[in-house]
């Protein structure tokens, strides 16, 4: 059984190594325009990253007392979809920005990036890894990592590894999810391939995809949120 009630609350989760500041900057404005309140919980500590987020979705749904929107970016999109599969009657829809894989493919670029980052921080330390990373990525993204990774403290490395080890829903599983799912992909992002977004949309019974770019995201954080919300509205 799925709900047809309008959502008044959305709980959004960040991606691996990211934080609630970033995911709020992406989604708060677009959802506020629809009259939807946004909650963005901070990352749970260390090894409890994924289980902690899932528990938080349970708690927020219980507190809301009516179906909620769930979603997030990359890992956050995976976890939100996993939760929706378990709780269709409590879910009004999923906002899945930049899904990175399905199942647990060893060669998924986002998974490999998380594992490499964990290894480098373990070996060289946080500051050296941040400095090296900043030389190979856009300034805006380097700034996001500098803020978020420092906030994790000693929990960064175990959190990265926990995220990399957590499977996304299998495509065969999501065929049972009947709530509307809005998917956004950045066509210039090799770490979150547009192909994955297309595979998710093809497997889901009620889904739409909207495209944007990392270049647009760097200039305007809400561009990704607007694309995801628009896809969700189309899926409805």
Burial readout 94-116 (b: 16 or more C-beta within 10 A, e: otherwise): bbbbbbbbbeeeeebbbbebbbe
pLDDT in tens, the chain (236 residues): 344 446 799 999 999 999 999 999 999 999 999 999 999 999 998 889 999 999 999 999 999 999 999 999 999 999 999 999 999 999 999 999 999 999 988 899 999 999 999 999 999 999 999 999 999 999 999 999 999 999 999 999 999 999 999 999 999 999 999 999 999 999 999 999 999 999 999 999 999 999 999 999 999 999 999 999 999 999 99
- Angle, helix 156-165 to helix 109-124, in steps of 10 degrees: 160
* Residue with token string 């977004």: 197
Q: What are phi and psi of 170, to 5 degrees?
A: -75, 150
Over residues 125-159, the pLDDT tens digits come to 999 999 999 999 999 999 999 999 999 999 999 99
Question: What is the token pair recorded at 218?
Answer: 């760097």
């Amino acid at each position: 059984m799925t709900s047809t009630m309008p959502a008044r609350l959305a709980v959004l989760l960040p991606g691996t190594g990211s934080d609630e500041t970033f995911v709020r900057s992406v989604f708060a404005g677009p959802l506020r325009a629809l009259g939807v309140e946004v909650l963005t919980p901070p990352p749970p500590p260390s090894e409890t990253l994924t289980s902690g987020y899932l528990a938080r979705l349970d708690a927020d749904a219980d507190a809301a007392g009516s179906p909620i929107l769930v979603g997030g970016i990359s890992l956050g999109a995976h976890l939100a979809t996993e939760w929706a599969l378990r709780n269709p009657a409590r879910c009004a829809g999923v906002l899945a920005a930049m899904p990175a894989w399905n199942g647990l493919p060893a060669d998924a670029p986002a998974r490999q990036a998380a594992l490499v980052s964990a290894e480098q921080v373990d070996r060289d330390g946080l500051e050296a890894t941040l400095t090296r990373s900043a030389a190979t990525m856009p300034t805006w993204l380097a700034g996001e990592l500098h803020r978020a990774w420092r906030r994790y403290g000693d929990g960064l490395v175990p959190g990265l590894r926990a995220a990399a080890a957590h499977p996304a829903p299998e495509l065969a599983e999501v065929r049972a999810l009947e709530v509307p799912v809005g998917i956004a992909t950045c066509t210039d992002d090799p770490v979150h391939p547009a192909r994955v977004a297309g595979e998710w949309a093809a497997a889901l019974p009620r889904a739409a995809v909207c495209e944007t770019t990392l270049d647009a995201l760097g200039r305007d954080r809400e561009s990704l949120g607007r694309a995801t919300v628009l896809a969700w509205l189309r899926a409805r």
